[in-house]
Amino acid sequence: ASPIPTPQLGASIFADLSPAELRAVRSFLLSRPELGLAADRGDSLATNSLFLVELQVPRKSQALQFLSGGRPRPPRLARAIVVFGEQAQPNVTEFVVGPLPRPSYYRAVSYPGRRPIPFAARPVTLLEYELMHRRLLELTEPLYRLLRDTTGFWYHNCSQRCLTFSDVAPRGLGPGERRSWLILQRSVEGHFLHPVGLELLLDHRSRDPRRWALQQLWYNGQYFASAHELAWRYEHGELALPRPPSPERLFSTYEPRGHFSTGTPTAVHGAKVCEPQGKRYRLQGNLLEYGGWRLALRLRSSAGLQLFDLRFNGERLAHELSVQEAAAFYGGSSPAAMQTKYLDSAWGMGALAHELAPGIDCPEVATFLDAHHLYDAAGPERFPRALCLFELPTGVPLRRHFDSDFRGGYRFYAGLEGQALVLRTTATVYNYDYIWDVLLYPNGVLEAKVHATGYVHATFYTPQGLRYGSRLHRHLLGNLHTHLLHYKVDLDIAGTRNSFETVDVRFENISNPWSAGERVVQPRLHRRPRRSERQAAFPFGRALPRYLLFSSPTQRNRWGHPRSYRIQYSSQAGRVLPRGWREERGVAWGRYHLAVTRHHEKEATSSSPYAQHDPWQPAVDFESFIRNDENIENQDLVAWVTVGFLHIPHAEDVPNTATPGNAVGFFLRPFNFFDEDPSVASRGPVIVRPRDPASAPAAVQRWTPARPGPGVAAEPFTYNGTYGQE
């Protein structure tokens, strides 16, 4: 199923463009002669081509006015990215196109302070990869024998036992460059773990691939100026050759090997999620509802999951919650490793949501949704099962209490089972698979979480590499890296006007009021209102205060407290580079655990698809959001949240990084926002009270059926509650 916008619902203004809408935008732009767009990409980089079309999100002010009922529906617009490769001065230009469903106009839009976007900053297209591949077939000809002899695989003239490559970025050392280190790998299942020891620096800056050339080569720890030089040294026996891998079972596959010594079964299905009484969530178009929660969802082609108008019991908590960027910055001794500073939105992070497998990626009972992207393609493409939705039994009660009478009996037992709705998508950015989750709990808590799995980005093992990681196999080094994930959270806590403060504790030393002459040392609240953007930017390296509160300066809950929500971190993030060092400027959002800024339409995203290839002069300079140090009291605030972890690969990352322990994220939790826990509205609790006499069966009070259904519990619910001598 696809999340087809249901026009009568307000949420539809945030729905992704339908295939028909994508086609309409494409047709309209192709019909404009002044743009000179090619109908298909052909075989040349020197064409003007439409790279991406996606929803242009309505301005917040318009959206809110519409959603609150008073104003007309905002025009439905598209964002289009065109790569102008045919001009004398090639560039990339973004357009807004409208109105849908029948577009009649377009206008160029620019990032503040920068226009146009340099041609060299564009993402690599499938065509460019194809051209790189073709050119490599020629350029690796001198290396045919070396590769065939020492690896059993080759590139030039290959039909079987082929080599393939992984490319790294940025592609050079400064603006305008486009030269990529390529890691040659055996093309086997899990090729990312099979580097053959050869890395090539291919300059592919020219629009004419015939001019592309190898600038340098690295083979098994040594540099060479040309393929011919390397081949010559090989032919003359002057090379230190890596010992070829002994023939053994492919270690990068998922095929099982070995046995658990416990002999406990794994060849049958284990515990599963099931829904004996049906679904407790509702999806209409792109509008999702569950246990008090209601939100609009989309999967933007440029960067992934983006939620809008997140409400609990009808009140908006956030206008937007979205993934902005994923970074992975590496260290290593081979040139590809030391050069790798991935910024994944340029790699199509949002359009890499491939098919989720029922029973593995999501429970069998999940609802699966398709996505449609027009991304580096001649038309909209359908990505089946790109998202899933399911209710998860968390395995732990939402709350419970046993009230002992300390005489072998109890006054009552009460509990509310724990479930959460999970909304999931993945982004397989070549080797890595990010699993992006948003969990909705019926007590007004939202959790955003990302798991990392898939293959590590790895390089050829040399002893020098051990300073940067672990040897994972005979010829394989897993390079250390830091993962950072960036989220935008446009919290609107009881209205758009909010203030932000941090709270932690300090110890006070006071006179003991009930024992003269004695002192009491105890913790007390230490509140720090943060009045400006700089005061609300928390760089890595300093401990984050433990309570980060977004509050309404005017609305109070029943007990007199400012209605607030808290962001709570679950992260082990750190800097990717020293502040200001070259490429670090392209990832300025990665300086801060949290930055709180004033909302501006012009500051819609913290990154762009161009950050990867021009981090030195980024189209979006996140630091500029903070630099003007605006007042943030009683303003529309946006929280920019960075989470991440340091990944030092280890042998157990083979075949894949596993999810346990590799998840980071954050919670949004009510903090005096409500008058009490709103999950008291759930009819899920079970309360048990003893009867008189205590030997009588307990009185069970519940609002759900006594039996959850076959396959879950054969026996009816019982509770004893007593304990004592037997």
Q: Summarize as ranges the residues that interact with Ca ion (CB under 5 A).
A: 490, 492, 597, 628, 630, 636-637
Residues 210-269 that bind a second copy (CB under 8 A): 216, 218, 223, 251, 253-269
Q: Which does 314 bind (CB under 5 to 8 A by kind): Ca ion, Cu ion, a second copy, none?
A: a second copy
Least gap, CB of 608 to Ca ion (angstroms): 18
How many angstroms separate the Cα of 634 from the Cα of each of 60, 550, 595, 597? 17, 10, 16, 12
Residues 639-668 that bind a second copy (CB under 8 A): 645-646, 648, 650-661, 663, 667
> Closest CB to Cu ion among 172 and 469?
469
Instruction: Single out the residue of 26, 585, 599, 669 in contact with a second copy (rule: CB under 8 A).
Output: 669
Number of Cβ within a 10 Å radius of residue 367 = 17
User: Mask 351-390, x = binds a second copy (CB under 8 A)?
Assistant: -x-xx-xxxxxxxxx-----------xxxxxxxxx----x
Whether 677 sits among the annotated catalytic residues: the reply is no
Q: Which does 490 bind (CB under 5 to 8 A by kind): a second copy, Cu ion, Ca ion, none?
A: Ca ion
User: Mask 518-557, x = binds a second copy (CB under 8 A)?
Assistant: x-xxxxxx---------------x-x--xx---------x
Nearest alpha carbon to residue 603 among 583, 588, 620: 620
Give the interface segment with a second copy, choosing from 28-36, 237-245, 564-572, 594-602 (CB under 8 A).
Answer: 564-572
Nearest alpha carbon to residue 55 among 3, 103, 15, 6: 15
Give the interface segment with a second copy, choosing from 30-38, 113-121, 528-536, 714-722 (CB under 8 A).
Answer: 714-722
Least gap, CB of 490 to Ca ion (angstroms): 5
Residues 646-675 that bind Cu ion (CB under 5 A): 647
Instruction: Single out the residue of 85, 116, 142, 454 in contact with a second copy (rule: CB under 8 A).
Output: 454
Q: Which does 492 bind (CB under 5 to 8 A by kind): a second copy, Cu ion, Ca ion, none?
A: Ca ion
> Closest CB to a second copy among 693 and 711?
711
> Closest CB to a second copy among 81 and 549?
549
Distance CA 401, CA 689 (A): 12
Distance CA 495, CA 551 (A): 9
- Amino acid, res. 470: S
The answer to the question of residue 167 lying near a second copy (CB under 8 A) is no
Question: Which is the catalytic residue, given 432, 434, 468, 565?
Answer: 432
In 359-494 the beta strands, taken as DSSP E runs, fall at 367-375, 381-393, 399-404, 410-416, 419-429, 432-440, 446-454, 458-460, 469-473, 476-479, 481-491
Contact 84, 90 (CB under 8 A): yes
Least gap, CB of 669 to a second copy (angstroms): 5
Nearest alpha carbon to residue 487 among 401, 634, 589: 589
Instruction: Single out the residue of 330, 500, 550, 592 in contact with a second copy (rule: CB under 8 A).
Output: 330
Q: Which does 459 bind (CB under 5 to 8 A by kind): a second copy, Ca ion, Cu ion, none?
A: none
User: Mask 87-126, x = binds a second copy (CB under 8 A)?
Assistant: ---------------------------------------x
> Closest CB to a second copy among 59 and 411?
411
> Closest CB to a second copy among 101 and 113?
101
Nearest alpha carbon to residue 335 among 226, 230, 218, 239: 218
User: Mask 606-635, x = binds Cu ion (CB under 5 A)?
Assistant: ------------------------------
* Furthest C-alpha separation in the chain: 97
DSSP letter (8 states) at residue 684? -
Crossing angle for the helix pair 144-151 and 227-235, to the nearest 10 degrees:
60
Nearest alpha carbon to residue 51 among 88, 16, 85, 17: 85
Nearest alpha carbon to residue 372 among 623, 26, 726, 723: 26
> Closest CB to Cu ion among 613 and 647?
647
The answer to the question of residue 575 lying near Cu ion (CB under 5 A) is no
- Amino acid, res. 442: P
Whether 344 sits among the annotated catalytic residues: the reply is yes
Question: Which is the catalytic residue, given 16, 167, 309, 344?
Answer: 344
Distance CA 411, CA 690 (A): 7
Task: Give the residue closest to Cu ion by C-beta.
Answer: 647
DSSP code string of 521-573: EEEEEEEEEE-BTGGGEEETTSPPPSEEEEEEEEEE-TTSPEEEEEEEEE---
Give the interface segment with a second copy, choosing from 202-210, 489-497, 559-567, 635-643 (CB under 8 A).
Answer: 559-567
> Closest CB to Ca ion among 597 and 607?
597
Distance CA 715, CA 707 (A): 8
Q: 315: exposed, middle or buried (C-beta count within 10 Å: 0-12, 13-18, 19+)? A: middle
Nearest alpha carbon to residue 165 among 149, 123, 139, 462: 139
User: Mask 474-513, x = binds a second copy (CB under 8 A)?
Assistant: x-----xxx--------------------xxx-x----xx
The answer to the question of residue 436 lying near a second copy (CB under 8 A) is no
User: In sequence order, what are the beta bridge partners of 569?
Assistant: 666
Least gap, CB of 257 to a second copy (angstroms): 5
Enter the tokens of residue 258. Answer: 């070995």
Nearest alpha carbon to residue 375 among 40, 53, 82, 121: 53
DSSP letter (8 states) at residue 358? B
Residues 27-66 that bind a second copy (CB under 8 A): none
Binding site for Cu ion (CB under 5 A): 647
Positions annotated as catalytic residues are 344, 432
